[in-house]
Structure 1
Amino acid sequence: MNRSAKWLQLSTSAAVLSAALVFPTAVGATTKTTVEAHVEWNSFLQQQYGVAFDKTVTRDQFEKALLKIVSTTSISEKDLSAKTFLPESKDASKLVVWEAVSAAAKAAELKELGYTYSEEKVATALKKAGISYKKGGTLSLQAAQELAVAIDTGLVSANALKSASVEGAVSAELASQLLAKVAEFHGSAKNYLGTIADEEIFGKLAQAWNESQIIKAGELQELVDKGLKQNLITGYNLKDAAFDPHFDPQRTITYGHSDIAHAIQLIGLLKSEGVNAKVQFEPKTSAFIYLKEWGEPIQTADYQVVQIENGNYIAYAKEYDLSLEFDSVKEKEKFQPLVLKYAKRDQEDMTGLLKASWWQPLYHSRTELADYAVITNNVLKDGRYVVQSFSLNEESPKVVEGFQKLNDKVKVETYKFWVDQPFFNYLNGESK
């Protein structure tokens, strides 16, 4: 019995090596691309921060949204204590373009760079957006420097400013772009290696796997290991929230495995079928009970065991989740038929499958999909570390109660999600 087979038969576990390749810019873009970018920005802001705008944006709306985004970042307490990044204004409701860009530049922590700009450098940058700068004009030098650095760094696109007067009202589209880019500058935007269509995606996946290692989470892990020893759960996985892709759940599927060649072949399969998606590699450690009757376990850097009181072991295996944000819900729906045909083993000597295909593939969605089963994720967190253990819905209350008995201060979050039928069958005790 190989390592993956042991995991499949005993573990209920399932579930970030990346570059922040985030929002498309509008520079040199066609109208269609600009519209698509606006949809992307709106979706991200609504999903992550609950922020949405009407056609025009007020000072109060923009200020609250900006503070909501930066309040979870590493921005200095001194800047946050100012309560606002917006300049003072006689009109407490009206927000004009230069004010919004100025505030975004400060929130993105670009102001010091901007203030190094000479008047000549400012004029050159603003000219890209069709804005004329003259000393003593409408814009102060400081405001002009903030606009200039925002343009040069891509915080705002020159095209977006070309279509709006610096003294004009801020549109929902411009506000969304600025806020999404501020999140990006703080590393809080979409986080992924690249897309299936990228020529370098395979090398990036291999490198991400090579750089990952078994995750350890101190007291949090000690707690869930106690649950494992007491058969409260039969397995769990441990992840690092720093690798969270922040994808749109409507278009996302997360696929778990332990063999990187399988991931590379899966991406190749999707590519060959004309399916595109953003790809994030999320390192994961899977923990489960290794029975003593299996014999002395062989330990490696990617597979470690600790013997427990009854002579069995807790095994910790290096694995991964691939999060895939498809271009549309329709593209997302194409995923399962391909997996069931090319990545699900139905017999031992089966051919025509991707390397290391499992009897029970493991993939899931936070939103409903036809022909998927509903189960529960039981989640514990400590800082950036996240423990997850999947269970049948009716077993979740027992899991929550068990962890709370182990530690009455622990908070167990639960939510229902959609998983492939073979894995659901596995949770019900079926081995294939």
Structure 2
Amino acid sequence: MKNHLRIGSKLVLATALLFSASAVSVPSRSSAATGTAPSVIYVPSALVKEYGVFLKDKYNIAFGQQVTTGQYSAAVNTILAASSVEVTATGKATTRLKSLDALQLALKAADLEELAYTYPTAKTKKSLSKLKLNWKSDAYASKQAQALAAAVDTGLVPSEFYGEIGSNGTVSASLATFLLGKVLETKGQYKRYIGYASDSDIYAKLNDAYRTSDIIKAPDLRNIVDEALKQDLVTGYNLKDSRYDANFVNSLSLVYGHSDFKHALQLIGLLRSENINAKVQFEPKTSAFIYLKEWGEPGVSDLFEVVQIENGNYIEYAKEYDLAFEFATTADKSRFDQIVLKFAKKNEDNQPGLIYGSWWQPLYYSLTELKNYKIISNNKIETGNYYAQSFSLKEKSAAVTAGFKKLDPSVKVTNYDFWVDGPFFNYLNGESK
């Protein structure tokens, strides 16, 4: 987040990010273009691996070679916990789970059960013809057959598992994992991303995401943090909407913040040129800070709004964004720092060889430890889907929390530590570069 200084009709973008003594506030899969890292084409076995990593990271779910009815039911209910819905598999908890039973349970958890029961026998038989089942004709009228047909048609079961499903033997760990991954997707609890850096249409997707993003209002939160600005408890904050959060695997992901959209386009191009592919999520962000009256009239723009406060100054709300990346490997995630420091970090005025809009102190961070990154703290409050957040040095976190609590004793402040790039950490410590 950059401080926006306006002198008359001119807009001066200060390279410093907002901070106070206590805190800095920050809040598909398609073919690749020629010459870049190839777009990821997923086959079921690759998805099983990716689903498995996600399930372990987010829910601590992992299957051994033998999957029991109890284990699978517990895993499904863990996923459904947020919706206060439970499902129950038939049979004893210690019994090895059958493939068709696992599928039927997944279909229900994925909110597709009623669809299955619309299938007449003829449609069911036609949908299952590709499985080459050795079933008697009357078997196609069963609920299990309907569930299987609906699962095939909706993509819940890909062809790689047709043999396993058709034999209705005990479910494999791979099929159980795949089914849970599909449940997560249909429930909207899996990763959220607009595409891959290598997608041929990634720039169009970015443009659409940026064009349709707006300045976030969230008045209940703004009432608290705006008052914090007025009282100099903080010098700025970010507002975000959790519905856009990428929900990536922490060990493979990081978040990069900026204000200029042209910079985002070039950053994606930079990753492609360095043969790094990553999932990309665009997360709208609004930054708020005090705009001093002596800077002149703030002007009008679709990139910011201003509200005058009692002392004649203004609070400015600026349209910004975070780009969340999930890399294919931890090695690619580690390389990101080197690439930014070489091509997107300003070290001198009019420095050549940098992408557009490079900052003196770029901001990117990880929820897992990385070499050359430093630990700082996030302090955030939330209401519904929206949250306000303020980054600070670890030793200043308590002061930020106290500031929010002073304004609203009922507010819950969430604090956690994470790892930020070196230049931004230096900035928090008062260094200009």
Q: Hey, what does 2:67 align to over in structure 1?
A: 57
Q: Which amino acid aligns with 1:44?
A: F
Aligned residue runs from structure 1 range 9-48, under 5 A = 9-11=17-19, 12-15=24-27, 33-48=43-58
In structure 2, the residue corresponding to 1:347 is in which secondary structure?
coil
Asked if structure 2 preserves the Cα contact closer than 8 Å seen for 1:133 and 1:144, the reply is: no
Tell me, yes or no, if structure 1 residue 102 matches structure 2 residue 114: no
Asked if structure 1 preserves the Cα contact closer than 8 Å seen for 2:69 and 2:91, the reply is: no
In structure 2, the residue corresponding to 1:371 is in which secondary structure?
coil
Tell me, yes or no, if structure 1 residue 8 matches structure 2 residue 37: no
Q: Give the Å deviation of 1:167.
A: 3.0
In structure 1, the residue corresponding to 2:176 is in which secondary structure?
helix
417-426 vs 272-281, which deviates more? 417-426
In structure 2, the residue corresponding to 1:143 is in which secondary structure?
helix
Compared with structure 1, are the counterparts of its residues 381 and 189 closer, same or farther at alpha carbon in structure 2 (3 Å cutoff)? same
In structure 2, the residue corresponding to 1:333 is in which secondary structure?
helix
Describe the superposition over 1:185-214 as per-residue Cα deviations: whole angstroms up to 9, x where unpaired: 122111101101110001100111000000
Q: Hey, what does 1:89 align to over in structure 2?
A: 91
Asked if structure 1 preserves the Cα contact closer than 8 Å seen for 2:121 and 2:141, the reply is: no
Q: Give the Å deviation of 1:72.
A: 2.3
Describe the superposition over 1:9-43 as per-residue Cα deviations: whole angstroms up to 9, x where unpaired: 4342223xxx7x69xxxxxxxxx954432221111
Q: Hey, what does 2:204 align to over in structure 1?
A: 203
Asked if structure 2 preserves the Cα contact closer than 8 Å seen for 1:135 and 1:141, the reply is: no
Compared with structure 1, are the counterparts of its residues 129 and 14 closer, same or farther at alpha carbon in structure 2 (3 Å cutoff)? farther
Distance 2:250 2:185 in 1: 19
Q: Which amino acid aligns with 1:51?
A: I
Distance 2:12 2:336 in 1: 22
Q: Hey, what does 2:37 align to over in structure 1?
A: none
In structure 2, the residue corresponding to 1:162 is in which secondary structure?
helix
Q: Give the Å deviation of 1:161.
A: 3.1
Q: Give the Å deviation of 1:150.
A: 0.6
Q: Hey, what does 1:428 align to over in structure 2?
A: 429
User: Taking structure 2 as the reference length, what is the TM-score of the superposition?
Assistant: 0.89
Aligned residue runs from structure 1 range 253-332, under 5 A = 253-332=254-333
Q: Hey, what does 1:26 align to over in structure 2?
A: none
Asked if structure 2 preserves the Cα contact closer than 8 Å seen for 1:255 and 1:323, the reply is: yes
Q: Which amino acid aligns with 1:222?
A: N
Q: Hey, what does 2:38 align to over in structure 1?
A: none
Q: Which amino acid aligns with 2:98?
A: V
Describe the superposition over 1:76-100 as per-residue Cα deviations: whole angstroms up to 9, x where unpaired: x7xx3xx4253x3377633211111
Compared with structure 1, are the counterparts of its residues 91 and 136 closer, same or farther at alpha carbon in structure 2 (3 Å cutoff)? farther
Describe the superposition over 1:304-340 as per-residue Cα deviations: whole angstroms up to 9, x where unpaired: 1112222222111000000010110001111111111
Distance 1:279 1:364 in 2: 15
Distance 1:428 1:368 in 2: 20
Distance 2:235 2:431 in 1: 15
In structure 2, the residue corresponding to 1:350 is in which secondary structure?
coil
Q: Hey, what does 1:27 align to over in structure 2?
A: none
377-386 vs 195-204, which deviates more? 377-386
Q: Hey, what does 2:186 align to over in structure 1?
A: 185
Asked if structure 2 preserves the Cα contact closer than 8 Å seen for 1:239 and 1:387, the reply is: yes
Q: Give the Å deviation of 1:4.
A: 7.2
Aligned residue runs from structure 1 range 139-288, under 5 A = 141-164=142-165, 166-288=167-289
Q: Hey, what does 2:81 align to over in structure 1?
A: 71
Distance 1:227 1:132 in 2: 70
Asked if structure 2 preserves the Cα contact closer than 8 Å seen for 1:126 and 1:132, the reply is: no
In structure 1, the residue corresponding to 2:351 is in which secondary structure?
coil
Tell me, yes or no, if structure 1 residue 403 matches structure 2 residue 404: yes
Q: Give the Å deviation of 1:62.
A: 1.4
Asked if structure 2 preserves the Cα contact closer than 8 Å seen for 1:7 and 1:288, the reply is: no
Compared with structure 1, are the counterparts of its residues 33 and 175 closer, same or farther at alpha carbon in structure 2 (3 Å cutoff)? same
In structure 2, the residue corresponding to 1:322 is in which secondary structure?
strand
Asked if structure 2 preserves the Cα contact closer than 8 Å seen for 1:237 and 1:389, the reply is: yes
Asked if structure 2 preserves the Cα contact closer than 8 Å seen for 1:4 and 1:258, the reply is: no
Name structure 1 gaps, 5 residues minimum.
23-31
Aligned alpha-carbon RMSD (Å): 2.2
Q: Hey, what does 1:128 align to over in structure 2?
A: 130
In structure 1, the residue corresponding to 2:320 is in which secondary structure?
strand
Q: Hey, what does 1:378 align to over in structure 2?
A: 379
User: Taking structure 1 as the reference length, what is the TM-score of the superposition?
Assistant: 0.89
Asked if structure 2 preserves the Cα contact closer than 8 Å seen for 1:191 and 1:245, the reply is: yes
Name structure 2 gaps, 5 residues minimum.
31-41
Q: Give the Å deviation of 1:409.
A: 1.6
Distance 2:157 2:88 in 1: 16
Q: Hey, what does 1:392 align to over in structure 2?
A: 393
Asked if structure 1 preserves the Cα contact closer than 8 Å seen for 2:253 and 2:327, the reply is: yes
Compared with structure 1, are the counterparts of its residues 316 and 90 closer, same or farther at alpha carbon in structure 2 (3 Å cutoff)? closer
Compared with structure 1, are the counterparts of its residues 257 and 423 closer, same or farther at alpha carbon in structure 2 (3 Å cutoff)? same
Asked if structure 2 preserves the Cα contact closer than 8 Å seen for 1:122 and 1:145, the reply is: yes
Asked if structure 1 preserves the Cα contact closer than 8 Å seen for 2:370 and 2:419, the reply is: yes
Distance 2:234 2:92 in 1: 61
Distance 1:365 1:97 in 2: 39
Describe the superposition over 1:269-306 as per-residue Cα deviations: whole angstroms up to 9, x where unpaired: 11011111000000000111112221111132320111
Distance 1:115 1:391 in 2: 54
Size of the aligned set, in residue pairs, is 410
Distance 1:241 1:251 in 2: 20
